[in-house]
Structure 1
Amino acid sequence: MTGKDQPVALVVGASRGIGRQVAIDLAKNGYTVVVAAKSTSDAYAKPFPPDPNSQQSTISTVEREIREAGGRATAIAVDTRDYESVQRLVNETVKIYGHLDVVIYNSGAIWWASVENTPMKRFQLMQRINPEGLYGTIQASLPHFKQNGWKGRVIVVCPPIYSRFFRGKTAYAMGKVGMSVLVKGLAMDWEREGKKDMAVTGIWPASSIESAATGQITKTDPHSVRDLRKPTIYSDAILAMLRAPVSEVNGLLDLDEDFLRRVEGVTDFSKYSVVEGAVPRRIMPAEFPDLTVAEQADEGRRTDSTKLRASKL
């Protein structure tokens, strides 16, 4: 496959941790990768490569890592809170490479606390980066997917929907579950519109993954490192989702471990443990509620606001 023929993947939130690993492994598997986030740096500063979970890891260093390993990558800075910045990112991606095939949205702001202890500014930050940033990225990408003949994939870092997820982190859960609702709703749009080559999928870790966030926990509780997995489990699951037929993954909200076990037949996950021989604790339920209802197919009279507005003009 020549560089021109390679599928192009835009990874938003790829400066460190999970996003960095996803970008690197996509490049290893034949994708041209656009590495996007806010943080940039001198890619040739020492030491190199930097700690992948540190602030020294930026889109600049990730681009260099991919290129020096023989892959194709371009780093483009973006502020996902600013829709014009997101539009520039997507348009620049297509300007450079001619097309866009995959969008992976990994950007996220985290604050786990009660409503009382979540300041309004922190709440607003999470909503702007999490659901709004995702919505803007998808909006900016849709014209280019249309140009592709409606062929493409979107992968979103968001959870299956279940009530325990809200506990102790309501403000964060409001945004993350909102992202999950977007996955479900967009998938329904594409199915209804006959876009048979488009799929949007949500992915979430079954066990905690080594990252900058979990690094803060292990500093105060060194034993907790035994409950961590390497981010390669996440990139392996995403690659498997991209290989899977549209019908299997469109609208799916799944866990990395569960998807690899069910679809790829993986039974031994020991290679993903940060501590050799450790069995990380599963943080997610074994089963999730079915969100469908008996009247699922009965939409009643569909309302389309765009048509209502047009009729008033």
Structure 2
Amino acid sequence: MNASKVALVVGASRGIGRQVAIDLALAKDGYCVVVAAKSTSDAAAYSPFPPNPNSPQSTISTVEREIREAGGEATAIAVDVRDFESVKRCVDKAVEIYGRLDVLVYNSGAIWWASVEDTPYKRFQLMQSVNPQGLYGTVQAALPHLKKHGNTGRIIVVSPPIYSRFFRGKTAYAMGKVGMSVLTKGLAMDFERQGLTNMAITSVWPAAAIESGATRKMTEKNPKEAEDLRKATIFSDAILAILRAPASSVNGRLELDEDYLRSDVGVTDFSKYSVVPGTSPRRIMPAQLPDLTVKEQDDEGKRMNSAEGRAKL
């Protein structure tokens, strides 16, 4: 099948990823969407349908069905981002089905918030393999396809702005998530250096907590906690807006959903995103973030390229 635009959403079985996949498929400028994650199921077996979008019953199979029943085009492909061969098969299958790849959204994530002492080494390894390593492998597998049609591919990474408070109480998690943001900054510089002005990579992160599988457990224990939650639609709206913007205006940016919608789209009323109508969810991210550039930003000195004249590993 030759499609006009194709998006691969990795980590799309529930929560934010599910919402992003659905909204990409059903937007006016919609995409054929490849819904990728580990979890699959017999989507035809659910009645009533769909299942709770923040529960384990929501899988890439049910998300594919949701999109198709709403009139969009989607294909579910199972992937384990810890396994590079699985990632390459997923990307190749997506291109085999739709003939191209225009957008990659990387939403897969493993989470464990605790001190270094209370974070087991195996949990640390899991987070690194799913978060920065999974992203790196998926980007490497996708880049040749994203460059094929006029060098216009876009990458969206679910990772935060870089600032020190983020490390507190969750160092092992922060090491991986900040590493993902470093990839965003570094690959953006690669695009600029290579003159790929129509390609862009952008990181985006919630300004306030978003309804998800993790927050669902929290609100089941204390329903009042829902007053501090936003719907996942704020995140997908921000991603759609980033994808519609000129590549040069978003390349390398580490954005917050609310702040991008306010500064670049002109949104001033965010009340429709509150899970509990009439509430104002508490912002969890700083209002002002540090500038990562230095005075000598453009001074690279003598550049070294390990890939030149050496055998690839």
Class of the TM-score when normalised by the shorter of the 2 chains: over 0.9
Residue type of the alignment partner of 1:9: A
Q: Give deviations 1:80-127, integer Å, cap 9, x for gaps.
A: 000000000000000000000000000000000000000000000000
User: 1:22 corresponds to which residue?
Assistant: 20
**1:77 Cα deviation after fit:** 0.1
Q: Is 1:115 equivalent to 2:113 in the alignment? A: no
**1:13 Cα deviation after fit:** 0.2
With 145-154 and 197-206 compared, the bigger mean Cα shift is at 145-154
Structure 2 distance, partners of 1:257, 1:186, is: 24
User: 1:166 corresponds to which residue?
Assistant: 167
User: 2:53 corresponds to which residue?
Assistant: 52
User: 1:198 corresponds to which residue?
Assistant: 199
**1:230 Cα deviation after fit:** 0.2
User: 2:41 corresponds to which residue?
Assistant: 41
**1:46 Cα deviation after fit:** 2.1
User: 1:180 corresponds to which residue?
Assistant: 181
Q: Give deviations 1:260-296, integer Å, cap 9, x for gaps.
A: 0011100000000000000000000001000000000
Residue type of the alignment partner of 1:191: E
Q: Give deviations 1:225-277, integer Å, cap 9, x for gaps.
A: 10000000000000000001111100000000000001110000000000000
Decide whether the 8 Å contact of 2:88 with 2:138 is kept in 1.
yes
**1:173 Cα deviation after fit:** 0.1
Residue type of the alignment partner of 1:24: I
SS at match of 2:243: helix
**1:307 Cα deviation after fit:** 1.5
Decide whether the 8 Å contact of 2:2 with 2:100 is kept in 1.
no
Q: Is 1:141 equivalent to 2:142 in the alignment? A: yes
User: 1:233 corresponds to which residue?
Assistant: 234
**1:221 Cα deviation after fit:** 2.5
**Match runs of 1:201-216 below 5 Å:** 201-216=202-217
User: 2:304 corresponds to which residue?
Assistant: 303
User: 2:32 corresponds to which residue?
Assistant: 32
Report how many residues are paired.
309
Decide whether the 8 Å contact of 2:10 with 2:37 is kept in 1.
yes
Residue type of the alignment partner of 2:7: A
* Equivalent of residue 6 in structure 1, options 1, 4, 7: 4
**1:197 Cα deviation after fit:** 1.0
Structure 1 distance, partners of 2:12, 2:234, is: 16
User: 1:82 corresponds to which residue?
Assistant: 83
% of aligned pairs identical?
A: 72
Residue type of the alignment partner of 1:19: G
CA 1:88–1:5: 2 relative to 1, 3 Å: closer
Structure 2 distance, partners of 1:308, 1:74, is: 41
**1:309 Cα deviation after fit:** 2.1
Structure 2 distance, partners of 1:282, 1:308, is: 50
**Match runs of 1:244-263 below 5 Å:** 244-263=245-264
**1:149 Cα deviation after fit:** 2.9
Extract unaligned runs of 5+ from structure 1.
none
**1:222 Cα deviation after fit:** 2.0
SS at match of 2:308: helix
User: 2:92 corresponds to which residue?
Assistant: 91
Decide whether the 8 Å contact of 2:147 with 2:153 is kept in 1.
no
Structure 2 distance, partners of 1:283, 1:24, is: 26
TM-score (structure 2 length as normaliser): 0.97
**1:147 Cα deviation after fit:** 2.1
Runs of 4+ more than 3 Å apart = none
Decide whether the 8 Å contact of 2:3 with 2:98 is kept in 1.
no
**1:5 Cα deviation after fit:** 4.4
SS at match of 2:45: coil
User: 1:265 corresponds to which residue?
Assistant: 266
Structure 2 distance, partners of 1:97, 1:91, is: 10
Structure 2 distance, partners of 1:6, 1:272, is: 30
User: For the aligned residues, what is the CA RMSD?
Assistant: 1.2
